[in-house]
């Protein structure tokens, strides 16, 4: 579903991604972890070209993301992306946040889109707030709406960049449980997160990154019990501590 | 006192009242047209500037600083007496038939006000977090559509207080158009004064009319802002 081959990226002189080769298979849940500044956000943001790459290739659902023929906006509309800071549109109701892209970009019928949006809100447990505005919601509620907004475009895969890092601890659970149920339904997911319990329970693979490289790809059990790379070992003993 | 009220009555009836009412109508028309023109240009300037294209940014910055640093009166004169003379003869003749002074006043005031409006909106947009643009882009909205549906509506909301102030300024500035012969309220008032020699009464009426409309604008603006804020409940 998402294939990184020899991906290299520089911010000026600084190389943020170094020869990244990896694959997220259809229906897989991949958790990307690693110390701060290791390039996790950079990597996940290259998939929908929020960041450009300078070398290598990324295939998303069979499309060459950086190919000359790929239509950027169409590509992006097929990638579900969830941000750390939710980034809901504050001037629109919850419902309008969700229906905006399907109506304006896909030109779908308004009442159909609305019905679907209400189903999605129901799924994330937010249908009672359909007419509320984002700043009337808690962080956890906003993030659940943001997930519904991304799902409304019916993307074949969902990307999460630290979806719970901006949340108060008591709200982390509600967002993770929405993500878990998505995973259960077979959604392909790539998640940057520090929630190691989520990784343990839900992930099919854990990618460990450091200094712009993927140093280890393993099943969560193996990764947490017997990490092979020394950096991964120290990372895990750090989070245990 | 009775002499004063008699004067006031005289100004407020018959032909004189008629002149003043026509002046008010002209002022409102001029304000409305130049406001519309200013808003359209301002929005275009904002969108052009946000492309971050070097030439585009420089052009917009030049436009803004030109219009903010030249007195509006001079710009009115320049358009009416200067730029119009560069037009082909037929167009000049046609414009004369079409109430040229009104058209040029609207253009000059609109262009000038656009500079202020665009700066208002731009600073309103600066307050929007970059996450908004990213979210819009990530959903697949291109540049123009993310502007239209996501960025501009928020920018305008943030800019509302200064837009209202500048709208009132524009309304008052329509009085400058008398210098090129537009018979708006101030011009009309001077005419009434010339006929009646009732200087104080004439300008009192004029003052109250301006005050009324300025306050009305402020009031409507406040209601509009309140409505928006309720919607966005911060
Ligand atoms: N726009 C940028 N310009 C220059 N350097 C950048 C830019 N964005 C990120 N970097 C650098 O690239 C490296 C990787 O950043 P990235 O945000 O991908 O890290 P991360 O793994 O997501 O970290 P965190 O866990 O703190 O979110 C960091 O060293 C960072 O300083
Ligand atoms: Mg990050």
What domains lie within chain B, and their CATH numbers?
3-233 (1.10.3720.10)
Give the tens place of pLDDT for each residue, A73-100. 999 999 999 999 999 999 999 999 999 9
The nearest alpha carbon in chain B to A134 belongs to B232
Q: Is the pLDDT of residue B233 over 60?
A: no
Kindly give the distance from the C-alpha atom of residue A74 to the centroid of ligand 2, in angstroms, as a whole number.
Answer: 25
The nearest alpha carbon in chain B to A71 belongs to B140
For a pLDDT cut of 90, what percent of chain A falls above it? Answer: 95
Q: Is the pLDDT of residue B234 over 50?
A: no
Coil, strand or helix: which one is A216? Answer: strand
Q: Is the pLDDT of residue B202 over 90?
A: no
> B39 to chain A nearest CA, in Å?
21
The nearest alpha carbon in chain B to A97 belongs to B150
What pLDDT is attached to residue A171? Answer: 93
**How many alpha carbons fall within 13 Å on the CB side of residue A160?**
34
How far, CA to CA in Å, does A232 sit from each of A239, B9, B97, B159? 11, 92, 83, 50
Ligand 1, atom 18, residue with closest C-alpha? A39
| Residue A169 in tokens | 């601890």
- On chain A, the residues whose CB falls within 8 A of the CB of B137 are 50, 76
What pLDDT is attached to residue B84? Answer: 78
Closest ligand (CA of A32): 1
- What pTM was estimated for this model as a whole? 0.81
State which ligand 1 atom lies nearest to the alpha carbon of A192: 22
Sole residue written with tokens 């409102």: B28
- Select the residue of B137, B149, B153 nearest A104 (Cβ to Cβ): B149
Ligand 1 near A103 CB (within 6 A)? no
Residue to mutate, A9, A15, A41, ligand 1, most ligand atoms under 8 Å from C-beta: A41
Among A190, A143, A202, A148, which Cα is nearest to A171's?
A143
User: Cα(B125)–Cα(B140) distance, rounded to whole angstroms?
Assistant: 20
What pLDDT is attached to residue B230? Answer: 66
Give the tens place of pLDDT for each residue, A149-169. 999 999 999 999 999 999 999
B141 and A104 within 8 Å at the Cβ level: the answer is yes
**pLDDT averaged over every residue in chain B:** 90
CA A171 to chain centre: 18
Would you place residue B184 in the very low, low, confident or very high pLDDT band (cuts 50, 70, 90)? Answer: very high
User: Cα(B181)–Cα(A240) distance, rounded to whole angstroms?
Assistant: 82
User: Cα(A37)–Cα(A58) distance, rounded to whole angstroms?
Assistant: 21
What pLDDT is attached to residue B232? Answer: 60
Q: Is the pLDDT of residue B94 over 50?
A: yes
Higher-pLDDT residue of A122 and B51 is A122
**pLDDT averaged over every residue in chain A:** 94
User: Cα(B209)–Cα(A43) distance, rounded to whole angstroms?
Assistant: 63
Give the tens place of pLDDT for each residue, B43-85. 999 989 888 899 999 999 999 999 999 999 999 999 888 887 8
Kindly give the distance from the C-alpha atom of residue A37 to the centroid of ligand 1, in angstroms, as a whole number.
Answer: 5
The nearest alpha carbon in chain B to A98 belongs to B139
Among B155, B170, B166, which Cα is nearest to B123's?
B155
Coil, strand or helix: which one is A164? Answer: coil
- Select the residue of B131, B132, B140 nearest A73 (Cβ to Cβ): B140
What pLDDT is attached to residue B7? Answer: 83
Ligand 1 near A40 CB (within 6 A)? yes
Would you place residue B231 in the very low, low, confident or very high pLDDT band (cuts 50, 70, 90)? Answer: low
Task: Give the N- to C-terminal CA distance of chain A in Å, as an integer.
Answer: 36
A87 and B153 within 8 Å at the Cβ level: the answer is no
B139 and A89 within 8 Å at the Cβ level: the answer is no
Higher-pLDDT residue of B231 and A203 is A203
User: Cα(B50)–Cα(B155) distance, rounded to whole angstroms?
Assistant: 12
User: Cα(A217)–Cα(A185) distance, rounded to whole angstroms?
Assistant: 23
Give the tens place of pLDDT for each residue, A33-52. 999 999 999 999 999 999 99
- Select the residue of A76, A85, A135 nearest B140 (Cβ to Cβ): A76
């Amino acid at each position: 579903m998402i294939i990184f081959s020899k991906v290299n990226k520089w911010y000026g002189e600084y190389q943020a991604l170094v020869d990244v080769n990896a694959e997220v298979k259809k229906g897989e849940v991949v958790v990307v972890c690693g110390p701060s500044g290791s390039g996790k956000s950079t990597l996940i943001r290259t998939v929908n070209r929020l960041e450009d790459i300078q070398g290598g290739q990324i295939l998303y659902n069979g499309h060459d993301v950086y190919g000359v023929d790929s239509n950027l906006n169409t590509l992006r509309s097929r990638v579900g992306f969830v941000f750390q800071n939710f980034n809901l549109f504050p001037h629109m109701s919850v419902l309008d946040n969700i229906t905006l892209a399907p109506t304006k970009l896909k030109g779908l019928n308004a009442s159909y889109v609305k019905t679907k949006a209400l189903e999605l809100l129901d799924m994330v447990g937010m249908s009672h707030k359909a007419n509320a505005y984002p700043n009337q919601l808690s962080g956890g509620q906003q993030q659940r709406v943001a997930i519904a907004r991304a799902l409304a475009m019916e993307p074949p895969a969902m990307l999460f960049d630290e979806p719970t890092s901006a949340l108060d601890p008591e709200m982390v659970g509600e967002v993770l449980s929405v993500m878990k149920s998505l995973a259960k339904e077979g959604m392909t997911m790539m998640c940057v997160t520090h929630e190691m319990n989520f990784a343990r329970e839900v992930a099919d693979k854990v990618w460990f990154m450091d200094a712009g490289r993927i140093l280890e790809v393993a099943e969560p059990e193996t990764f947490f019990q017997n990490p092979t790379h020394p950096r991964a070992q120290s990372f895990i003993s750090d989070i245990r501590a | 006192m009775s002499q004063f009220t008699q004067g006031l009555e005289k100004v407020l009836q018959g032909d004189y009242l008629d002149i003043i009412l026509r002046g008010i109508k002209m002022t409102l028309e001029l304000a409305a047209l130049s406001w519309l023109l200013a808003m359209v240009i301002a929005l275009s300037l904002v969108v052009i500037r946000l492309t971050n294209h070097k030439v585009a940014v420089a052009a917009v910055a030049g436009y803004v600083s030109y219009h903010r640093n030249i007195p509006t009166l001079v710009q009115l004169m320049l358009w009416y007496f200067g730029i119009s003379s560069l037009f082909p003869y037929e167009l000049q003749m046609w414009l004369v038939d079409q109430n040229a002074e009104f058209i040029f006043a609207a253009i000059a005031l609109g262009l000038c006000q656009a500079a202020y409006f665009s700066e208002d909106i731009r600073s309103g947009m600066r307050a929007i977090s970059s996450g908004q643009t990213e979210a819009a882009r990530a959903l697949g909205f291109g540049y123009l559509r993310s502007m239209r549906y996501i960025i501009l509506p928020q920018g305008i909301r943030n800019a509302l207080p200064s837009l209202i102030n500048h709208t009132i300024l524009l309304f008052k500035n329509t009085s400058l158009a008398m210098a090129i012969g537009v018979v708006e309220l101030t011009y009309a008032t001077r005419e009434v004064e010339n006929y009646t020699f009732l200087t104080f009464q004439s300008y009192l009426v004029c003052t109250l009319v301006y005050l009324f409309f300025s306050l009305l604008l402020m009031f409507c603006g406040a209601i509009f802002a309140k409505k928006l804020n309720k919607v966005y409940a911060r």
